[in-house]
Amino acid sequence: MTSLAMQYLKSMAMPVLNLATRRYVAGERVADAVDLAARAHYDGLGCTLCYWNDGTEDPQSVSSQYMSIVSAIGQHGLDGTLALKIPALWDREDEVARVVEAARQAGTHVMFDAHAADQSDVTLTYLERLGGQGLGLAIPGRWRRSLRDADRAIEAGAAIRVVKGQWPDPDAPGMDLREGYLTVIRHLAGRARFVSVATHDAPLAAQAMEILADAGTPFEQEFVFPLPIAAARREGARFGAAARLYIPYGEAWLPYSLKRALRNPRTFYWIARDMLGGDKLDLPPLPASTLGR
């Protein structure tokens, strides 16, 4: 594709992409995420806040956003966790340690998000060096290595968030997502310090929570904004499970980055589909008495 054609496509695509990504992030600023977190709190949900970088920022810029999240959680008295993406910090251990130390000083938990399978060793190494105090690790159910990763996280004393996972295992791309998820849950039951059941799949969430409850393992649910949560949350209510909402903000290069869209024309179909319809989480507005505080 010529440079001129690329510029032409960008000029047409950017307004559409910007409009579409507004459905998937709270906004561009941490204040936008905090506003949404306040509505979630009013609806009985904690929050996990994450800055979605655009893939080009230097580590210091991204860590500054993470610091802003830590500050905002404390300032607004939120039941909040920081979701940290180590690749967004260019795997810089000094920047990871700086953010973790600030979060620990503020009493804010940090959850290391999951990425591709080959990133896991770096993430686990930093987790082990930092110690598990106030830290957590997201573990996908779709990797063969996940049980070994879980053992290392348990040994470090970290909390664990179980997800289906975005990136497939290169050695087992056809792994059944639901069975893989439950395999990890069974491995954690009775052993993990704390587990976040992160899925919108209500029957799967129910099975996972039953396994953990039977083993006496503390757990909560976590949901990603803006997907609907009612069905899975009802399952959690049967166990008295707390729940939190994962709220991203920023440029949102996932799931609709311009580069990916230009490489894959089907992306524009997905964008149009999502813009024209589909289920979305609908949080209640804050009562007038809480506004302006």
User: For residue 271, what are its two tokens?
Assistant: 């964008």
- pLDDT of res. 54: 78
Helix, strand or coil, per DSSP, at residue 135: strand
Per run of 10 residues, the mean pLDDT along the chain (length 293 residues) is 52 56 76 95 96 89 97 96 97 98 98 94 97 97 95 98 90 88 98 98 98 98 93 97 95 51 50 53 65 41
- pLDDT of res. 174: 83
- pLDDT of res. 18: 57
- pLDDT of res. 248: 93
For residue 83, the tally of other CB atoms under 10 A from its CB is 24
- The structure's pTM equals 0.84
**Strands, E assignment, 55-210:** 80-84, 109-112, 135-140, 159-163, 195-198
Distance (Å) of CA 209 to CA 140, 213, 221, 241, 254: 16, 6, 9, 9, 29
Q: Please tell me the distance from the alpha carbon of residue 204 to that of residue 262, in angstroms, as a whole number.
A: 35
- pLDDT of res. 285: 73
